[in-house]
Amino acid sequence: MGQLTGKTAIITGASRGIGKGIAEVFASEGAHVAFTYSSSEEAAKSLELELSKFGVKVKGYKSDAADFDQAQQLVADVLNDFGTLDILINNAGITKDNLLMRMSEADFDSVIEVNLKSVFNMTKAVQTSFLKQRKGAIVNMSSVVGVKGNAGQTNYAASKAGIIGFSKSVALELGSRNIRCNVIAPGFIETEMTAKLDENTVKEWRSGIPLKRGGTPKDIADACVFLSSDQSSYITGQVLHVNGGMLT
């Protein structure tokens, strides 16, 4: 039996990269998976097919977590389709990098909206059902950049730092109802997005990491399994750094 057998999870932004890795590991651990995607219906369909091989229920939803009403509707649809909800993984995120002097207001606003407001929207949407059943696990995806900052990423760093403060507050508010809220702060994770980077840049990144490699989506997914499962039942309001030692 998997560590998440019989539990239902919502994972936002799961058609590729880290989100897809989380969805795959969750299904292999026995979780029923409801995931969101923003545009690629084809990728979503193929993920549905891939995950259903684990004998769990899987469904993709085209939904924008940055939209308050869509988040409410998504949770209502998932409860209707799956019957229960136990875990929320807030993973959806974007970057629009630029030096502050060149960053437009639109680029600042959209990153805050997709990365940070979505966490508010989705947490608010699941709260009622979690409170009713007096249990639930929320895992929010921050970043090493939200902890130590990064030149050219003031918008992204602000959104990811905001997630940490938000999550610690939620942990304090909902702890008495046995609802846990934790954060994962990934370091340099190698995905389809980083594959487009110049090879020398990637080598430079790797050499600066104590473990001398980039992380994989599975490294993040395994940490998500731990924070979503009963193994971490006495852990809330924490930030788990999964970064190969970048911050030590």
Enter the DSSP assignment of 180.
E
d(CA 140, CA 138): 7
Identify the pLDDT of residue 146.
96
Average pLDDT over residues 177-197: 90
Share of the chain residues as helix, strand and coil, in percent rounded to the nearest 5: 50, 15, 30
How many other C-beta atoms lie within 10 A of the C-beta of residue 129? Answer: 16
Per-residue pLDDT reduced to its tens digit, 58-97: 999 999 999 999 999 999 999 999 999 999 999 999 999 9
pLDDT band at 235 (very low <50, low <70, confident <90, very high): very high
d(CA 192, CA 78): 28
Per-residue pLDDT reduced to its tens digit, 165-179: 999 999 999 999 999
Write out the DSSP string of 182-241.
Answer: EEEEE-SB-SHHHHTS-HHHHHHHHHTSTTSS-B-HHHHHHHHHHHHSGGGTT--S-EEE
| Beta strand spans in 113-160 (E) | 136-141
Q: Could you list the active site residues?
A: 156
Identify the pLDDT of residue 205.
86
Answer yes or no: are the C-beta atoms of 115 and 121 closer than 8 Å. Answer: no
Burial-class residue 192 by CB neighbours within 10 Å (0-12, 13-18, 19+).
exposed
**Does position 248 have pLDDT exceeding 70, yes or no?**
no
Enter the DSSP assignment of 56.
S
The closest of 84, 168, 186 to 126, measured between CA atoms, is 84
Buried b (16+ CB within 10 A) or exposed e, 155-181: bbbbbbbbbbebbbebbeebeeeebbb
**Does position 40 have pLDDT exceeding 90, yes or no?**
no
**Does position 202 have pLDDT exceeding 90, yes or no?**
no
Per-residue pLDDT reduced to its tens digit, 127-147: 999 999 999 999 999 999 999
User: What does CATH list as the number for 8-240?
Assistant: 3.40.50.720
Identify the pLDDT of residue 10.
98
Identify the pLDDT of residue 75.
98
Q: What is the pTM of this model?
A: 0.95
d(CA 18, CA 10): 14
Amino acid code (one letter) for 33 = V
